[in-house]
Structure 1
Amino acid sequence: MTQLKPVPHGLLQAFRAYESALMSHDVAALDALYASSPTTLHGDADGLLVGHEQVSALLEADGGAPQRRIVQTHVQVIDDDHALILAATDAEHGGRGLQTQLWARDPVRIEHGGWQITAAHVSTPAPAFDSRIWRVVGDPLISSHTPDGALSGETLAVKDVVAVAGFAVGAGSPAWLEQAPISSEHAAAVAQLLDAGASVRGIARTEEFAYSLTGLNAHYGAPPNPRAQGRVPGGSSAGSATAVALGHASIGLGTDTGGSIRVPAAYQGLYGIRTSHGAVPRTGLLPLAKAFDTVGWMTRSAFLLQAVGDVLLPATAVSTPTKDEIRVVPSLVGLATPEVAAAIEGALPESEPLDWSPQTLEEWREAFVTGQAYQAWQAHGAWLETRLDTLGEAVRARFETARSVTRAQADEARAVLAEARAEILEVVGDRVLAYPSASSVAPTAADAESVRDDTMRLTCLAGIAGLPAVTVPLRTATGLPAGLCLVAAPGRDRDLLALAADL
């Protein structure tokens, strides 16, 4: 008969100290109870963190764990210096959670008998639905009446600036939602997808008025990024992207003005397309800047991305470019961080580079931002004039800037953009250009605003010239998602979708 090994001295005391620190959000104590090693592990529903530095950053940023109590504890002793502890927990708000921890004893340490966690996995009670991701969700919310359509069996996460009949458009703003009328008709894109057999799973969260690239909504929180734990999901089509990445829906329907499809797709390892300006009807969309607004979508596969295009895009002859025809633009790749640049170069090692360095790119970005801001205030200023205080800090700052843009400044920006558009269209010609979809991997919330301008220098190009842009998921050397952006002349959306499917 095998004898159970006795629990080593100090182990349970260390376990209780961890639980006490977790419930009181004592970050310093929690940090000290995790082994200071690059191999320390922490896993939960949002993903896996590797190394004490990443674990420590999570402890600092998560704002504290929900209150709970331990109801069962089981210890399996491996040897005198290693043990596995499994605990069942009851959450204060209901539901059962589980926690697994691998503990190791460092004979040099005195505190807590030298015991520290080297690996942990936590599961918490699943919510009925995640309000960070969804405004409203069903199973499905809206059914298709086309049982044998091209998209039968597919499900939509519809960004909350796109009309779904029977529901108001909430625009990521509680104040706007409170007074918004119920939509009597579906947006044109929603209606087409329903006719093709897809159903609507739900209405997904967006940043306020789709005026951001981070995915951080001041009222509802940020949808998680399941491919890059502890990092922002990207926006403004954040909820749609996360719903697809998590498998809650197969198609994330959204909009892209300055990168709101391409950035979340890049940050979360998805395929995505910003369509040519005007290629897909924008009927039923709440505008941000009509001169740049487009319909877009995200999927987990290039095949489905193309299948949605077959439904939404106008019928045109497809001339599929080959991988050898893609021209990487080194000057634009150089605007990205080294790890993203390396991923782009590694994906297309044989591609012939295109020698194009737009000399006034920063002026173009500034003109795009000014033009976007002027149009955003024209669209929403009358309502926001007395309600700016209802907005989160970052979006409020953008609208305050937008309010100050004069007609003369907008006209100057329009002239700059006209020259930029002409140059971009000439350079693109019949080529397919490649450069990063975003300037970096998904940043943390603390760093998100600092990379905005860098990313906008890349994303504004398609917006200025009305180009279609497809983002293809890549991985950096550290395993984080990044995006390869492919652009072509207006109207070549189907060509890019076919190319992405062949890569």
Structure 2
Amino acid sequence: MASHSANLWVLLGLGLAGILLVTKKLKKAVREDLGAFVEKLLLLPPPQPAPPKAPHPLTGLSFAVSDVFDIKGYVTGFGHPDWVRTHEAASSTSPVVSTLVEGGATCVGKTVVDELGYSISGENRHYDTPTNPSSSGRVPGGSSSGAAVAVAANIVDFALGIDTVGGVRVPAGYCGILGFRSSHGVVSNAGIIPVASSLDAVGWFARDPSTLRRVGHVLLQLPFAAQRNPRQIILVDDFFQLVKIPVDRISEVVIKSAEKLFGRQLLKHENLENFFESKVPSLKDFRKRKAIADDAKIPTAKLLGNLMHLLQRHEFLQNHGDWINTVKPAADTVIPSRACENKELTDEDIETLKAIRSQMRVAIGSLLKDDGVLVIPTTPSIPPKLGSKEITSEEYQNRAASLLSIASISGCCQATVPVGHHEKCPVSVSFIARHGGDRFLLDTVETMYASMQEQASIVANSKSSRKTMSQEESAEISKEKGNQAFKERQWPKAIGCYSEAIKLSGNNATYYSNRAAAYLELGSFIQAEADCTKAIAIDKKNVKAYLRRGTAREMLGYYKEAIDDFGHALVLEPNNKRAAQSAERLRKHFQSPI
């Protein structure tokens, strides 16, 4: 009997040990994806077309989708378990998702969104808050929090989200990655749960501008065209006054980058307060409406933010009010109760809101035309701490809404671009182009990105002390830091370090050649070619510079010049396999045009 009891205790002990082991493995799995996903799945692209047809444009890329996009056979969760419980699996896949898969990308899962897609914090009590990879103790931003985290954590190459009042722009800024809100209506919203139909726009995240642009070209179904540069860059001074981050920390990066790439004559400063008051006459009418009688004297930026939230709440209730009243989600659910606080808008109010939207779109179009961008901060501060009341405070909400309202109300496209860190948290700046200027805005981001990262690093390092070191010693230290960042695949940081080395010692071919390698990784081929040319001018025997310039020229379509570069490398190193293979491949495929 005693033996039997002992065996029983042994079995129980083994069972508990097994349970603990499984629990640890499950917790590890959750930590590995940082809580970004609500469901893993696999949608594989079609086979590659046979040569000579070009491969699919998104071949080799993986992506995730926010849990507002329908995927056939899966329930679209909308950030709330009661929604999952009361809805059936989707009968078809959203055309946006299908387009990306057909374009060669692999979909690997659905990601967390805020409750009913209604917040910009990224905190979701039902599925836990995804961990911000750039600042783990702070919110990731919402509503497309999981999608941003999946990209920032290098789990996927890009991800889809919906931006209503900042659902893509805010998490991109808080997680330190690129985010793009497309012009309203240019990408189909079919198969996507609406939040507020007149504000909703499809958006996407990426870590590098090349991927952001490739995805954009597929979703926007753009034919090939030459890349365009901006002819006007307008810094909106009164909107920069809304942020708690030092203004120069953000604006100086843009100014220095624009001066370097295009010259100072493109830069312009503007206050939009008076501009919108004069160009959007319906704003004055709306001030008189009973719905915002108390706001008759508030600044235009704040008024636009209020208008955006009024429209969001009104359309949210139109779309989901019946479901809320029928299902009556958990009593502690914040979002539906907050939405229901909205006062009823009259038909006259709605018509005035529509007029404001149209007038703002026309006004911005007349200001920017086809080749201008507005530059504004993305968010009013660094990411608030998890669990703090800052992000729900009236002050934060007003500042954030003011910044986010321009693109949301007008329907214009907006890109969020990271520009380094402040107090060890990501900071970003946003570019806005006219409605329909999506291709131009994607081009602008790709053109300016590498230079902006370089300037951000220079600004961040400008206070570093070099008291007892010679310039050459400091330059070597910067180069080594760049090499380490390159090994860790932190390309922008590597560019900043190599730029600092060049600043300290500008006659070293290795610094230029190394920076070119980082530019190549970011897809900044023009900058890479220029750096290699400089390196070769300093050291005509720099084999790596010839190889890297050949690669850059190949990607730019300068095939004859690329072959010449690989040939030079072979003269210097006759046994260099990379040079030989590259030259032979180019001669084989591009001999006739050359």
Partner of 1:72: none
Task: Rate the CA distance shift 1:96–1:194 in 2: closer, same or farther, 3 A.
Answer: closer
Identify the match of residue 136 of structure 1 among 25, 39, 43.
Answer: 39
CA distance in structure 2 between the aligned counterparts of 1:479 and 1:91, rounded to whole angstroms: 40
Aligned position for 1:94:
21
- Could you tell me which of 348, 351, 370 is aligned with 2:255? 348
Matched with 2:427 is 482
CA distance in 2, matches of 1:128, 1:480: 21
**Residue 381 (structure 1) aligns with:** 321
Distance in 2, Cα, partners of 1:388 & 1:402:
17
CA distance in 1, matches of 2:363, 2:18: 59
Shift of 1:444: 1.3
Instruction: Note the 1:360-439 alignment, pairs <5 A.
Output: 360-390=300-330, 393-402=333-342, 404-430=344-370, 431-439=372-380
CA shift, 1:203, in A, is: 0.5
Letter in 2 for 1:369: H
Amino acid at match of 2:113: T
2 CA distance for matches of 1:266 and 1:194?
27
- Secondary structure in structure 1 of the residue aligned to 2:270: coil
Q: Using the alignment, how far apart are the partners of 1:443 and 1:242 within structure 2?
A: 16
> Counterparts of 1:411 and 1:401 in 2: how far apart (Å)?
21
- Among 267, 280, 291, which residue is 2:174 paired with? 267
Deviations 1:375-394 (A, max 9, x none): 11111011111444437543
Larger radius of gyration: 2
| Map of 1:471 onto structure 2 | 416
Deviates more, 1:323-332 or 1:431-440: 323-332
**TM-score of the superposition, structure 2-length normalised?**
0.61
Which residue of the other structure, out of 377, 390, 404, is the alignment partner of 1:459?
Answer: 404
Cα deviations by residue, 1:101-157 (Å, 9 ceiling, x for unpaired): xxxxxxxxxxxxxxxxxxxxxxx844387583211114xx22222344211221111
Q: Which residue of 2 aligns with 1:287?
A: 194
Indicate the RMSD between aligned Cα atoms, in angstroms.
2.6
- Aligned partner of 1:310 in structure 2 is 217
CA distance in 2, matches of 1:378, 1:341: 43
Do the aligned partners of 1:163 and 1:285 also contact (CA within 8 Å) in 2? yes
Mapped to 1, the partners of 2:433 and 2:322 lie a distance apart of 37
Structure 2: distance between partners of 1:392 and 1:304: 40
Q: Please, which runs of 5 or more residues in structure 2 have no aligned partner?
A: 1-16, 49-54, 275-299, 449-594
1:467 shift after superposition: 0.6
Distance 1:254 1:213 in 2: 12
Q: Is the 8 A contact 1:318 1:494 kept in 2?
A: no
Change (3 A) 1:131 1:91: farther
Name the CA distance, whole Å, in 2 between partners of 1:429 and 1:413: 24
Letter in structure 1 aligned against 2:37: W
CA separation in 2, counterparts of 1:95 and 1:368?
47
Deviations 1:350-386 (A, max 9, x none): 4623322325222222111111111111110111114
Question: How many angstroms apart in 2 are the aligned matches of 1:127 and 1:469?
Answer: 32
- Is residue 320–residue 496 contact of structure 1 (8 Å, CA) maintained in 2? no
2:247 & 2:40 partners in 1: Cα distance? 35
Q: Flag the structure with higher helix content.
A: 2
Relative to the length of structure 1, the TM-score reads 0.71
Counterpart amino acid of residue 237 in structure 2: P
SS for the counterpart of 2:434 is coil
Change (3 A) 1:396 1:403: farther
**In structure 2, the residue corresponding to 1:499 is in which secondary structure?**
helix
Cα distance in 2 between the residues matched to 1:479 and 1:454: 22
Give 3-state SS (helix, strand or coil) of 1:264's partner. helix
Give distance in 2, aligned partners of 1:128 and 1:502: 36
Native 8 Å contact 1:340 1:482 kept in 2: no
Alignment of 1:57-456 (within 5 A): 93-94=20-21, 125-127=28-30, 130=33, 132-138=35-41, 141-147=42-48, 148-315=55-222, 318=225, 320-322=227-229, 325-339=232-246, 342-349=249-256, 350=259, 352-359=267-274, 360-390=300-330, 393-402=333-342, 404-430=344-370, 431-445=372-386, 446=388, 447-450=390-393, 451-456=396-401
Q: Does the CA-based 8 Å contact 1:370-1:410 persist in structure 2?
A: no
Mean Cα displacement is larger for which, 425-434 or 362-371?
425-434
Instruction: Assess if the C-alpha contact under 8 Å between 1:207 and 1:216 holds in 2.
Output: yes
Structure 2 Cα separation of the partners of residues 419 and 152 of structure 1:
41
Cα deviations across residues 19-61 of structure 1 (Å, max 9, x unaligned)? xxxxxxxxxxxxxxxxxxxxxxxxxxxxxxxxxxxxxxxxxxx
- Mapped to 2, the partners of 1:489 and 1:131 lie a distance apart of 36
